[in-house]
């Protein structure tokens, strides 16, 4: 079983629809604080921790903050079009993450600035080809 979280479920029209539904169904509860807690501590049982962040915003923030409470991520790949010069967390680099303990100082990290819809499939194709050549996976 793989837990699925949607940290921004109350953002925009989805949040409005949830609100309207709850008016007629008060027993229906979406607890975003409990979800946040589950996200933060869902990684704590793994020996090695890593993140592949596609884009930025709230999902990246939630996932990388889990590293702060769990000794830091061992690996991090950020793929984004956001730049650090904007001052937003979406543009924060993996080096910034090291300064906060979100990733370990000796961790393998990279920030790729570019279109995720192009770069991620290329990265995955290259990684799968390498794993196949090394006999670690079947084609």
What pLDDT shows up at residue 138?
Answer: 86
Known catalytic residue: 102?
Answer: yes
Percentage of residues in the chain with pLDDT exceeding 90? 40
CATH numbers and ranges of domains, the chain: 12-133 (3.40.910.10)
Per-residue pLDDT tens for 49-63?
888 999 888 888 888
pTM of the model: 0.75
What pLDDT shows up at residue 1?
Answer: 67
Burial class (CB in 10 A: 0-12, 13-18, 19+), 64: buried
In the predicted model, what is the mean pLDDT of residues 99-125? Answer: 93
What torsion do the CA atoms of 20, 23, 24, 25 make, to the nearest 10 degrees? Answer: 100
Write down the catalytic residue from 49, 60, 98, 102. Answer: 102
């Amino acid at each position: 079983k793989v837990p699925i979280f949607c940290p921004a479920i109350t953002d925009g029209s989805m949040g409005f629809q949830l609100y309207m539904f709850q008016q007629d169904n008060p027993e229906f509860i979406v607890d975003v604080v409990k979800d946040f807690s589950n996200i933060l501590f869902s990684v704590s049982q793994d020996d090695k921790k890593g993140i592949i962040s596609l884009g930025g915003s709230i999902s990246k923030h939630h996932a990388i903050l889990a590293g702060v409470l769990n000794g830091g991520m061992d690996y991090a790949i950020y793929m984004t079009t956001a730049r650090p010069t904007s001052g937003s967390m979406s543009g924060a680099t993996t080096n910034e993450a090291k300064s906060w303990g979100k990733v370990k100082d000796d961790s393998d990290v990279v920030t790729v600035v570019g279109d995720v819809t192009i770069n991620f499939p290329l990265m995955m194709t290259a990684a799968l080809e390498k794993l196949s050549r090394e006999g670690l996976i079947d084609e």
